[in-house]
């Protein structure tokens, strides 16, 4: 019996789940051993906010380590960073947070001014020292996110003069001069940030995110009643305030930064001060998943296959699921199939992920989804994809790929068709569910007993090829094998569907310890 490959996608209960191997280190220094160092009364609130951020990132509370006040000596913090690297599982994620005073002082060895985090015992941890202590963490983890809510400057005209328009009983600068402050004004500073130090030691920019609460010549403010202005803003945006600007179905660190900066500007609007949050490194990283995505409006299309025996299965698939139809396995040209009646989504509007989410062209949004997934890849998991026929003749040519992975893994293929509305998983599928591949071995897709034939319209197909360390859980995105009586299909062509696909491949769909994967987005043309 000849079949078209068909899928049934079920979206339910897509709340973000915890990933048991993820870890967090949260450091807060509110008071110091030296009584002359100003106390930061908002730091306890910051630690609570950082905990909420960590949990939203899928980190179990039992995997969060805290260091605060008298515990936060230089020796203890450095040891905790090293221990985090020793105990972190290969290929998982980590979050490191610090709230307290920053400092700046002349390095007696070089004479240059350097930035540092001021520890409880009035010592400083420089960017180079921080990067060296966390070297194993950044090299073994799939992704590491750091956030530093501190500043390394009193501001161009001095912190106290800049806070005159603020309520000094409520706001405090998160900076403390260690020594010889006049020699270390911003204009005299030559400093290396944490990201350059991490990459210098072998870390990858694509696997690291650095969040800083202010620019080098600005002040980071501590609100005694609510915590750091930057931490409050990042917390609120990561926990739901940020907007999916490109409609991809996920929110990236770049989109979180835009949201957080608007919040900072609003909090400081009545003053004449500025504070700019900066996200560097992997700005396309998806830090958290939506908690309650809308249920997509799914469309049912039924096809009854003819009774033809022993022919290989063929999927007419590069395009719209609205034009999905039976295909002949022979090489004779096949005219473009007619659209399936009532196959397009109903006109009922799906509520947006966020009340203020902009309306985005679906074509651009769907391509953005594939790009967002690709950007979560770990460059250490490289794959090679050869398209044996980069141009396919509609109704005649079959998709022909050769794929080789540097590591063992599980292969996934996701297609955005040339009609820009079909958006679905090609592999694994109802005819072949074993998608494990060996390192160094070339895999041909499709296999000899089934195929994927070009069906039009003319245009460009986008195909995401992904090889992951761990398989994905089908309880977040279920596939139903085609049957003779119920060959159903649902297209992933709305906001809820795009979110579900991202969550399945990069979020709670992960079924294993390692979250790392390699990915490559390729283009294939369809012509008459």
**Who's near 266: CB < 8 A, 6+ residues apart?**
none
> 3-state class of 187 per DSSP?
helix
The pTM score is 0.83
Q: Helices marked H in 412-491 — which ranges? A: none
Please, is 61 exposed, middle or buried when counting C-beta atoms within 10 Å of its C-beta (0-12, 13-18, 19+)?
Answer: exposed
The two tokens of residue 210 are 């650095």
Instruction: Give the integer Cα–Cα distance in Å for 389 and 357.
Output: 39
Domain formed by 1-15+291-327+378-528, architecture:
Sandwich (2.60)
> 3-state class of 462 per DSSP?
strand
**Who's near 341: CB < 8 A, 6+ residues apart?**
none
For residue 213, cis peptide bond before it (omega within 30 degrees of 0)? no
> 3-state class of 519 per DSSP?
strand
Pairing of strands 450-453, 459-468: unpaired
What's the confidence (pLDDT) of residue 252?
97
Instruction: Give the integer Cα–Cα distance in Å for 515 and 495.
Output: 24
Domain boundaries, given as residue ranges, for the chain: 1-15+291-327+378-528, 23-281
Q: Are 206 and 379 in contact (CB under 8 A)?
A: yes
**Integer angstrom CA distances of residue 305 from 36, 71, 188, 308, 356:** 82, 70, 76, 8, 45
The two tokens of residue 320 are 């719209």
Instruction: Give the integer Cα–Cα distance in Å for 26 and 61.
Output: 11
**Who's near 512: CB < 8 A, 6+ residues apart?**
469, 470, 471
Question: What is the DSSP secondary structure assignment for residue 61, as one 8-state letter?
Answer: G
Query: First-to-last CA distance in the chain?
Result: 29
The two tokens of residue 128 are 């180079």
Alpha-carbon torsion (150, 153, 157, 160), positive or negative: positive
DSSP calls for 272-333: S-----EEEE-TT---S--SSPPPP----EE-------SPPEEEE-SS-GGG-----SSSS-
pLDDT along the chain (528 residues), means of 10: 31 46 96 95 98 95 97 98 93 97 86 90 95 95 97 60 55 82 50 83 95 93 96 97 93 97 93 91 90 41 31 42 32 34 36 53 85 96 96 94 97 89 79 90 88 89 96 67 43 77 85 92 96
> Residue 401: which H helix or E strand, with range?
strand 401-405
Q: Are 316 and 325 in contact (CB under 8 A)?
A: yes
Nearest CA-CA partner of 470 in 411, 385, 524: 411
Other C-beta atoms lying within 10 Å of the C-beta of residue 471: 16
Q: Are 398 and 458 in contact (CB under 8 A)?
A: no
Q: Are 371 and 519 in contact (CB under 8 A)?
A: no
Instruction: Give the integer Cα–Cα distance in Å for 19 and 473.
Output: 13
What's the confidence (pLDDT) of residue 15?
38
> Residue 49: which H helix or E strand, with range?
helix 43-56
Q: Residue 421 phi/psi, 5° resolution?
A: -125, -25
What is the Cα gyration radius of the chain?
A: 26
The two tokens of residue 275 are 């504070």
The two tokens of residue 410 are 């599980």
Nearest CA-CA partner of 518 in 475, 449, 478, 465: 465
Topology of 23-281 in CATH? Answer: Rossmann fold (3.40.50)
Q: Do domains 1-15+291-327+378-528 and 23-281 have the same CATH topology?
A: no
> Residue 103: which H helix or E strand, with range?
strand 102-106
> 3-state class of 413 per DSSP?
strand
């Amino acid at each position: 019996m000849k079949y078209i490959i068909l899928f049934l996608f079920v979206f339910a209960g897509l709340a973000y789940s915890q990933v048991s191997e993820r870890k967090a280190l949260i450091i807060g220094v509110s008071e110091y051993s030296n009584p002359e160092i100003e106390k930061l009364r908002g730091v306890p609130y910051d630690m609570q906010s950082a905990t909420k951020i960590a949990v939203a990132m899928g980190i179990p509370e039992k995997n969060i380590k805290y260091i605060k006040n008298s515990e936060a000596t230089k020796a203890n913090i450095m040891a905790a960073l090293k221990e985090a690297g020793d105990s972190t599982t290969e290929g998982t994620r980590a979050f490191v947070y610090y709230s307290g005073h920053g400092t700046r002082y002349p390095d007696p060895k070089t004479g240059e001014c350097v930035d540092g985090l001021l520890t409880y015992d009035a010592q400083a941890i420089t960017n180079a020292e921080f990067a060296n202590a966390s070297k194993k963490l950044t090299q073994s983890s799939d992704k590491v996110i750091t956030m530093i809510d501190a500043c390394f400057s009193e501001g161009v005209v001095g912190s106290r003069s800049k806070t005159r328009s603020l309520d000094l009983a409520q706001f405090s600068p998160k900076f403390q001069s260690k020594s010889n402050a006049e020699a270390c004004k911003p204009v005299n500073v030559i400093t290396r940030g944490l990201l350059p130090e991490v990459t210098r030691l072998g870390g990858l920019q694509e696997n690291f995110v650095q969040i800083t609460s202010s620019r080098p010549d600005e002040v980071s403010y501590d609100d005694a009643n609510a915590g750091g202005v930057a931490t409050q803003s990042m917390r609120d945006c990561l926990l739901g305030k940020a907007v999916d600007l490109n409609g991809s179905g996920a929110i990236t660190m770049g989109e979180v930064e835009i949201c957080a900066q608007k919040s900072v500007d609003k909090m400081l609007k009545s003053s004449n001060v500025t504070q700019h949050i900066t996200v560097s490194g992997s700005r396309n990283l998806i830090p958290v998943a939506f908690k309650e995505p809308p249920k997509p409006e799914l469309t049912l299309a039924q096809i009854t296959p003819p009774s033809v025996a022993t022919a290989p299965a063929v999927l007419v698939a590069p395009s719209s699921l609205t034009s999905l139809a039976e295909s002949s396995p022979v090489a004779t040209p096949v005219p473009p199939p007619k659209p399936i009646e009532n196959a397009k989504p109903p006109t009922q509007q799906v509520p947006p992920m966020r009340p203020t989410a902009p309306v985005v062209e679906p074509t651009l949004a769907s391509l953005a989804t594939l790009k967002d997934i690709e950007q979560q890849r770990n460059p250490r998991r490289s794959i090679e994809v050869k398209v044996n026929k980069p141009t396919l003749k509609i109704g005649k040519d079959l998709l022909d790929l050769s794929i080789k992975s540097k590591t063992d893994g599980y292969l996934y293929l996701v297609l955005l068709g040339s009609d820009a509305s079909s958006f679905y998983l090609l592999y694994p599928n109802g005819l072949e569910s074993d998608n494990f591949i060996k390192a160094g071995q070339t895999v041909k897709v499709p296999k000899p007993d089934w195929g994927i034939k070009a069906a039009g319209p003319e245009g460009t197909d986008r195909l995401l090829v992904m090889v992951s360390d761990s398989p994905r859980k089908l309880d977040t995105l279920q596939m139903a094998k085609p049957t003779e009586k119920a060959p159903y299909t649902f297209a992933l062509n709305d906001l809820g569907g795009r979110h579900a696909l991202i969550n399945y491949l990069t979020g709670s769909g992960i079924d294993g310890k390692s979250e790392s994967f390699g990915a490559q987005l390729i283009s294939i043309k369809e012509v008459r």
